């Protein structure tokens, strides 16, 4: 079976991280899993906590361990069988991977604190899995409107949120989206204020329409590496960096 998705993705270090000589603490990855009769597109973004000493390793571990859990599930089950109990099993597996890293580094799990926002897109049913800030936005096939299935979580105090490593457990959102998704975007909080209207809790549709336009004319059959490089240049540009000094990650996906 041929893939049904085309995507591009990039991450960019924030100017504040460059100034403070700290690494990029975002991580992002995407993959289309082909089954016997369908496909599931998976995209994940994680933002390491600025207060965590090993945040860049935390975000990477979150993405890789979560993608591994997705693969292990999808090789034997359909997306329709995915429920919140299964997602909690995945989160436990991610937390265990972090615990293993922490033990090896003689560190604490909270030193690897990181968020998680993921979208799993099937043929007619999709699922958004969300811990912390950042967000996923979607456009259904029958409409031009961009939706935000799970809003970024802001804690009780300014600039606080939930992390995968939170004890005893993180604040998890699992949202099922019915209907066919034509396009999606997943991003970290570095560009959140640029692309979301926090007053009305809506997505800035023109931004996503403009960003997805090059994918529509691309001939790539899966990931478009050239557009991914161009996306990285855009995230590094003064136009973006003058409006946010944080790390930035963005994955764009289009059903072909």
CATH of the domain at 93: 3.60.40.10
pLDDT confidence of residue 130: 99
CB atoms within 10 A of CB 128: 24
Query: Which pLDDT score, from 0 to 100, does residue 83 have?
Result: 96
Domain that holds residue 201: 5-255
Q: Is the separation of the CB atoms in 28 and 244 below 8 Å?
A: no
For the chain, 256 residues long, give each residue's pLDDT as a single digit of tens. 566 999 999 999 999 999 999 999 999 999 999 876 789 999 999 999 999 999 999 999 999 999 999 999 999 999 999 999 999 999 999 999 999 999 999 999 999 999 999 999 999 999 999 999 999 999 999 999 999 999 999 866 666 799 999 999 999 999 999 999 999 999 999 999 999 999 999 999 999 999 999 999 999 999 999 999 999 999 999 999 999 999 999 999 999 9
Contact (Cβ atoms closer than 8 angstroms) between residue 119 and residue 184: yes
How far, in Å, are 127, 188, 202 from residue 196 at the CA level? 20, 12, 6
Q: Count of domains in the chain?
A: 1
Q: What is the pLDDT of residue 35?
A: 77
Cα–Cα distance list, 65 to 40, 45, 46, 72, 174 (Å): 17, 12, 12, 11, 18
pLDDT value, residue 110 = 97
Q: pTM (2 decimals)?
A: 0.96
């Amino acid at each position: 079976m041929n893939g049904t998705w085309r995507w591009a993705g990039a991450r960019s270090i924030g100017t504040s991280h460059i100034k403070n000589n700290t690494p990029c603490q975002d991580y992002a990855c995407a993959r289309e899993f082909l089954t016997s009769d369908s496909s599931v597109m998976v995209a994940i973004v994680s933002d390491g906590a600025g207060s965590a000493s090993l945040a860049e390793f935390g975000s990477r571990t979150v993405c890789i361990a979560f993608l591994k859990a997705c693969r292990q599930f999808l090789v034997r089950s359909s997306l329709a069988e995915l429920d919140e109990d299964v997602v909690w099993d995945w989160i436990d597996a991610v937390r265990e991977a972090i615990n293993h890293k922490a033990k090896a580094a003689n560190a604490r799990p909270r030193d690897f604190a990181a968020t998680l926002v993921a979208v799993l897109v099937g043929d007619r049913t999709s699922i958004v899995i969300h811990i912390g800030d950042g967000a996923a936005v979607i456009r259904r096939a029958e409409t031009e409107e961009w939706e935000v299935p799970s809003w970024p979580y802001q804690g009780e105090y300014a600039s606080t949120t939930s992390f995968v490593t939170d004890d005893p457990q993180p604040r998890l959102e699992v949202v099922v989206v019915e209907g066919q998704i034509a396009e999606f975007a997943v991003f970290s909080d570095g560009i959140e204020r640029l692309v979301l209207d926090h007053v009305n809790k809506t997505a800035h549709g023109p931004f996503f329409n403009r960003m997805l336009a090059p994918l529509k004319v691309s001939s790539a059959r899966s990931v478009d590496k050239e557009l991914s490089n161009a996306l990285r240049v855009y995230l590094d540009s003064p136009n973006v960096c003058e409006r946010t000094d944080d790390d930035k990650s963005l994955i764009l996906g289009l059903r072909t």
